[in-house]
Chains A and B, each alone.
Chain A
Amino acid sequence: MSPRAAWRLESLGFREVYDYAAGKQDWITAGLPTEGELAEVPRAGDVADPDTPTCRLDERLADARERARAAGWDSCVVVTETRVVLGLLRSRDLEKEGDLSVEEAMRPGPSTFRPNVPVATLADLMREHGLPNVPVTTPDGALVGLLRREDAERAIAELHAHHEEGDHEHEG
């Protein structure tokens, strides 16, 4: 649709016309801000914690465990140098015994979610599957952060509280 619009504008006399061909989908999935009725809905990329602990494949599991726990987490995301997600260490994986590498202990290829997914959708999914958190990644697969279930639920509660305040203001 946008190429047709661009060509039509040129034929109408507009001299400098560009087509952002990747479109709104590209913008939103990159987690960039938007305007409009849906803009205030909290998204995974807004609430995921960018300070999520990470580790590399060839690290010792014990080192990753120590670092995650020191940061107050019971999960650690296994990433490449460019933060592309390779695996996930959940609480049970971090507790594995023996002199294991991260690669030996991790869950490879975890499900990841785009930054534009509404937080409410992921809160439902985490509740349904009993997950404490889910990884949020860019379309290139790079880690944005882990979205904790309690952070997702808090963001939803705050949005509801905000709406209720607005309703009372309208009533007043």
Chain B
Amino acid sequence: MRIIDRDELRRLVDEGAQLVEVLPQEEYDEEHLPGAIAIPLRRIDAEAGEKLDPSRPVIVYCWDPP
């Protein structure tokens, strides 16, 4: 796992990376990054396999740094 900044995020997304917001669904519904999908942290085990392609990079984000 590697931490990236905004510029790297845009480059990776342009190259086909999958963007995942891991906040609760209501926060995603209110506002999310363009093209992001919602997989709240507690649903990752159940949904990652079905919603994400393991052959492509994945970028996760929440609200702010821990």
Contact = CB atoms under 8 A, between A and B. Distances in A.
Interface stretch (A20-28, A61-69, A107-115, A127-135): A20-28
A38 to B, nearest CB: 5
Contacts of B63: 1, 23-25
Interface in B10-51: 12, 17, 20-23, 28-36, 39, 41, 44-45, 48-49
Interface string A40-80: 00000000000000000000000000000000000000000
Interface residues of A, number: 36
Q: Is the interface of A mostly helix, strand, loop or mixed?
A: mixed
Contacts of A162: none
A32 B61 CA distance: 15
How many chain B residues sit at the interface, stated as a range, is: 35 or more
B12 to A, nearest CB: 7
Given A13-B54, A19-B59, A21-B61, 12 more contacts: A1-B66, A6-B60, A8-B44, A9-B48, A16-B58, A18-B1, A18-B2, A21-B4, A23-B63, A35-B33, A37-B30, A39-B31
25 contacts: A1-B23, A1-B66, A2-B66, A3-B1, A5-B60, A6-B1, A8-B45, A14-B48, A18-B9, A19-B61, A20-B3, A20-B4, A21-B4, A22-B5, A22-B64, A23-B64, A24-B63, A25-B64, A27-B33, A32-B6, A33-B34, A34-B34, A35-B33, A35-B36, A37-B29
